[in-house]
């Protein structure tokens, strides 16, 4: 009986403390925050119609940008291109996906080589599908309210505040940094559960 209790206790402790560390050690990138809320407003991207989005990177080692993308009826099977620019509009990185791999309403990550010194720096990116026709559009949503780090967007030669509900992803400096974040988030939820609730 005692052996069973000891075995159960050790198993629970393993699941609570060791397993998260093992899983965290395999993580290659972490989000800088949660995806902002968005409503029904959308922009259609195809041909020469592209989105230009300005934003601020909150952390170092920027390595991906994610957002929700619609591919109505899965018709777009063309290249979907994200070009990343610095504040002087120099091309920094490029990420190309095929519309064939984008579902209708998927959260899509555009992954690129790490931009090391990206903390609190302003960047912009274009999102386009230049060879797609009017019946092969992809659509991106717009945020409902102002979101930290999302500055402004340009579409059809018009500039507006805000933009798409984007999330930046960053490569951790080392695996211990990821493990520390995992345990920090886990402990904060365990010790202060009410702080996770929103009004």
Q: Cα separation of 24 and 19, whole Å? A: 9
Residue 199 banded pLDDT, cuts 50, 70, 90: very low
Residue 196 banded pLDDT, cuts 50, 70, 90: very low
Angle at 13 between CA 184 and CA 180, to 5 degrees: 20
Ranges 113-117, 166-170, 176-180: which has the least confidence:
176-180
- How far is C-alpha 162 from the geometric centre of its chain's CA atoms? 16
Q: Cα separation of 164 and 41, whole Å? A: 10
pLDDT of residue 190: 61
* pLDDT tens per residue, range 58-112: 999 999 999 999 999 999 999 999 999 999 999 999 999 999 999 999 999 999 9
Q: H or E stretch including 191?
A: helix 175-191
51: its two tokens: 């989105």
Alpha-carbon distance values, 9 to 14, 130, 182 (Å): 9, 58, 22
Q: Cα separation of 82 and 112, whole Å? A: 10
Q: What is the mean pLDDT of residues 30-50?
A: 95
Q: What is the mean pLDDT of residues 157-165?
A: 97
Q: Would you tell me how many other CB atoms lie within 10 Å of the CB of residue 181?
A: 14
Question: Considering the domain 30-170, what is its CATH architecture?
Answer: Sandwich (2.60)
């Amino acid at each position: 009986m005692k052996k069973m209790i000891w075995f159960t206790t050790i198993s629970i402790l393993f699941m609570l403390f060791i397993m998260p560390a093992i899983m965290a050690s395999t993580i290659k990138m972490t989000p800088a925050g949660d995806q902002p809320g968005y409503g029904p407003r959308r922009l259609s991207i195809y041909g020469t119609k592209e989105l230009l989005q300005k934003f601020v990177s909150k952390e170092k080692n920027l390595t991906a940008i994610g957002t929700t993308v619609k591919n109505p009826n899965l018709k777009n099977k063309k290249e979907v291109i994200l070009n990343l620019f610095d504040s002087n509009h120099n091309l920094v990185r490029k990420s190309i996906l095929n519309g064939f791999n984008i579902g209708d309403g998927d959260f899509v990550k555009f992954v690129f080589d790490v931009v090391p010194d990206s903390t609190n720096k302003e960047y912009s990116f274009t999102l386009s599908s230049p060879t797609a026709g009017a019946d092969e559009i992809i659509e991106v949503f717009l945020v409902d309210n102002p979101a930290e780090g999302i500055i402004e967007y340009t579409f059809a030669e018009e500039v507006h505040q805000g933009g798409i509900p984007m999330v930046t992803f960053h490569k951790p400096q080392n695996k211990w940094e990821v493990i520390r974040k995992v345990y920090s988030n886990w402990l904060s939820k365990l010790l202060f559960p009410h702080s996770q609730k929103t009004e």
